[in-house]
Structure 1
Amino acid sequence: MYVAVKGGETAILNSYELLARQRRGDTGEAELSISQIQQQLKLAVDRVMTEGSLFDPELAALAIKQASGDLVEAIFLLRAYRATLPRLGTTVALDTARMQLDRRISATFKDLPGGQVLGPTYDYTQRLLDFSLLVQDYDEKKQNLHPDKAKESPIRRVDSASEPIVDSTPRVVDLLNHEGLIETAPLPEGDPAPKDLTRQPLRFPADRATRLQNLARGDEGFLLAMAYSTQRGYANSHPFVGEIRFGAIEIEIAPEELDFTISIGDIEVTECEMINQFAGSKTEPPKFTRGYGLAFGHSERKAMAMSLVDRALRAEELGETVKAPAQMQEFVLSHSDSLEASGFVQHLKLPHYVDFQSELELVRKMRANPSITDEDNV
């Protein structure tokens, strides 16, 4: 139980002030703007939007600034704000074959219709600190202090890559589908609308649409660990990256009073389709199966981890033995949300004086009289 703490209001208000000072840092430095965070910390903004379930780069950048860079706290702030927004309508399902691609790679086929597009990626960097960024930072400070004496930075700047691919690009899995070597995903009869996890509580067993919603909002670190476990033998998985896509895609709605769709804007998304081997069953021949991941912005690691865990969670429907943590939907879905996990762990900082005193008295009694056990006091 919790005990109300009296007389702490002044201390709490002072804590707010100290938090604001900490967030601002040295006032001799220029304050970090929302625009700078949005433009220069893009990957952090994309993660906050994905796990916050709200595509708004400006608000995600604001949340990161308010949280002093604590992404889990920023996700909490954004999701709390999202809960106050009205629901005006539902968009048409995305057709990612129409994505304006900035990046598109496959680890399964070298030659693809439309080609491999490397785009922006850390995949081929050496993971060495780039000390020239310190020089750039120094020159920018010098320019702010002495504009008349500033010199051009020695850093060589490279223009952005070519224009994104706009034409419709077929998916890699379609190549396997022509031979019937990969499972298909036909629409169910009537194509029922999926449950909205933001409005309805999670129930078990959860269907795949609900699981994918949960994974999309799940903590990237947790999903990464679960995905890693599947590759180390805890789900008997041998995955291949069928395709990763990153780019802009058009969002459309279909008003009831109209017989056509209306575009309401573009958003950036990352999509991953993972291909896994399936040995077959009594009713199904050997073939490849799929795992799927989709996230806001440029979030490849999240989309890949999501697709691996999605495939692991399909074990039961594919007739596989459920024996690894990543295959247990109640374990994965119940513990993947960073907000719930953070709240449950951090609540331990709140007063537990009465609880501890009772435990303390119990331990003292047990030490004084060894015949007393913990079960005697339950």
Structure 2
Amino acid sequence: MQFKQIVGQAAVKQRLINTVKENRVSHAQLFLGPEGSGSLALAIAYAQYLSCLDQQPEDSCGECSSCRKYQKLAHPDLHFSYPFFAKHKDDTAITFIDHWREALLATPYLSLDIWRSYLDAENKQANINIAECHQIIKKLSFKPFESEYKILILWLPEYLDKEGNSLLKIIEEPQPNTLFLLVAQNQDQILNTILSRTQLVKVPALTYDDIYNELIINYNQTEKAAAELAYLSNGNFTDAVLMMQQDDKSYHSLFVQWLRLCFGNKGIEMVSFVDQLSKMGRENQKNFLRYGISFVRECCLLIAGAGELVHLPAGELDTAQKLSSIMNIEMNQAIIAELEKAHYHVERNANPKILFLDVSLQIMGFLKLKSSPQGNQYISN
């Protein structure tokens, strides 16, 4: 993995390169960024750059023996630790290393759900157990084999329970030229004893333009498709790629049709439309609701007079402006809350017909009667 293969994050890349040039490489670093920001990819690219035998001013060479091994995730001085779904108490990350390499080579923008799909996870909970902690200590007790640095990348340290305290000594007093790179999404869920011993590298969510350009240049998406995916993903490149693999749906036209049916109080047509939504499949339903949440938020910006912050294609912007003329912020906030609640229940397998019909009735009330949002319970299958 080279820096040039990572979407956006130019400032973070430059900061990491500068630590190497200025000989300021901290032995324990925490790459903290939301899902889909590329924090894991950055950690791997940083490790490859540190180990490269012919470092270039802005990236690893990609051609030396070290880089070739890194590109296969098979360098003897590169180690990984990650949450897994243990079948036996002695299982460690090495038990699942072939699956890990397969998943990571397919996409460095991993999520726990994607990683789960590569394993026979059943209903097990992911964690990093005490056996893995002992294995980490063992791995890092030896000197580098080929490179200047021995590097361990620990993905999602949030899944380290109190057993993680066994790592404190090796984090604080590692062997010479041993680096500990943690890649996390939620700082509050990391053991404070570990957090206090690391140098923070903040990785922000990707921008709309970063995702939009990447989808056009490297994923052959049309401008319209790239704009919608970049808009829906809200800075999460993992989500953008997953949505790209779903059936092609025009969420905008569907959502606007839904709002018009709600505003017109068209009961019979609404039942037919709800039936259509219920047959879309769970992932498309989630994407549809996610689009609706984002679209209504853009309408809020227009109502508030912050049109310069709106990211909508011309046709969708025109629709948003028309809707904003007949809606107010309180009404939009009520609709957003209802859509977010629906998204939550779709993820938990709510009955789609009952859910979308109930949400439709709620939105009708907001648009026509200007009623206050009410709590709802959805019946699950």
TM-score interval w.r.t. the shorter chain? under 0.3
Query: TM-score normalised to the size of structure 1?
Result: 0.24
Question: Is the strand fraction higher in 1 or 2?
Answer: 1
Question: Is the helix fraction higher in 1 or 2?
Answer: 2
Higher Rg of the two aligned structures? 1
